[in-house]
């Protein structure tokens, strides 16, 4: 009878890896800034976010940058080091860790829906309430918005010029090109709105309480916006 085959010792079950914590998109954005080559201070991350991320996602306060950096460091996703005595001014630089890069890869390549874009347009809110404002004031606001947007478009084009030919910035360039097209479209839309505002308007509805008028667009007939 054949001798029984030796059995290899069973390995103890490996502890299950805890799922990555659910982080807000702003935390992933800061970690994403750290995923590019080099170490950066919180101030440098703020400047880079203002030159890139704000054109399509987020314009952070410096306090928010540091709050996210503290969160990421506590999770082991980032590390920091304080500058030595050779620096004229002490500063703390941050870098992504291997664990942080792995978590970022998992989040960036995740299968879940990225979610719809959120539009909050303060100028359009003013125009929506245009029946309470002087027409010339609204036109001045739109003209100012067009001038401001043209300035932002120039900033995007300048950022693209600085990144031109640098392989590490290939995908940020794609995002910046999209931002440039969006700003061009924003200027076109605002110019069309300025032309709409130049059209003569009908009589303004009375602002007195209890006055009835035509049903606002999107409001069901007979439904008062003041009803509870």
Q: Which pLDDT tens digit goes with each residue over 177-221?
A: 999 999 999 999 999 999 999 986 655 554 444 455 555 566 555
pTM for this entry: 0.71
In which band, very low, low, confident or very high, does the pLDDT at 138 lie, cut at 50, 70 and 90? very high
Mean predicted confidence (pLDDT) in 61-90? 88
Mean predicted confidence (pLDDT) in 109-120? 82
> Among 50-59, 118-127, 141-150, 214-223, which is the least confidently predicted range?
214-223
**What pLDDT is attached to residue 221?**
57
**pLDDT tens track for 13-28:** 434 444 556 899 899 9
Query: E-strand spans in the chain?
Result: 40-41, 78-82, 92-96
Report the b/e string of 153-173 with b at 16+ CB within 10 A: bebbeebbeebeeeeebeebb
pLDDT higher than 50, residue 60? yes
**Helix and strand counts by DSSP (H, E) for the chain:** 7, 3
Is the pLDDT higher at 209 or at 164? 164
Mean predicted confidence (pLDDT) in 154-183? 90
Check: CB of residue 79 under 8 Å from CB of residue 73.
yes
| Residue % of the chain over a pLDDT of 90 | 54
Mean predicted confidence (pLDDT) in 63-87? 90
| HSE toward the beta carbon, residue 100, CA cutoff 13 A | 25
> Among 2-6, 77-81, 88-92, 169-173, which is the least confidently predicted range?
2-6
pLDDT higher than 70, residue 40? yes
Check: CB of residue 45 under 8 Å from CB of residue 65.
yes
In which band, very low, low, confident or very high, does the pLDDT at 72 lie, cut at 50, 70 and 90? very high
pLDDT higher than 80, residue 67? yes
Q: Give me 152's structure tokens.
A: 């932002």
Mean predicted confidence (pLDDT) in 84-111? 86
């Amino acid at each position: 009878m054949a001798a029984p085959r030796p059995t290899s010792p069973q390995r103890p079950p490996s502890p299950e890896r805890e799922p990555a914590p659910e982080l807000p998109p702003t935390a992933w954005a800061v970690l994403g800034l750290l995923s590019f080559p080099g170490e950066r201070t919180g101030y440098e991350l703020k400047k880079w976010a203002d030159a890139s991320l704000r054109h399509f996602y987020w314009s952070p306060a410096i306090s928010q940058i540091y709050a996210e950096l503290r969160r990421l460091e506590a999770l082991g996703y980032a590390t920091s080091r304080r500058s030595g005595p050779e620096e004229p001014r002490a500063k703390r630089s941050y870098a992504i860790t291997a664990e942080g890069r792995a978590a970022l890869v998992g989040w960036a390549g995740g299968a879940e829906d990225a979610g719809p874009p959120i539009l909050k347009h303060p100028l359009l809110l003013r125009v929506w309430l245009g029946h309470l404002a002087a027409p010339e004031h609204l036109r001045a606001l739109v003209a100012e918005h067009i001038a401001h947007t043209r300035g932002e478009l120039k900033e995007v084009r300048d950022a693209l010029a600085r990144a031109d030919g640098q392989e590490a910035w290939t995908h940020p360039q794609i995002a910046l090109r999209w931002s440039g097209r969006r700003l061009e479209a924003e200027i076109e839309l605002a110019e069309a709105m300025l032309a709409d505002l130049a059209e003569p308007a009908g009589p303004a509805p009375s602002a007195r309480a209890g006055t009835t008028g035509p049903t606002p667009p999107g409001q069901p007939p007979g439904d008062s916006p003041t009803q509870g």
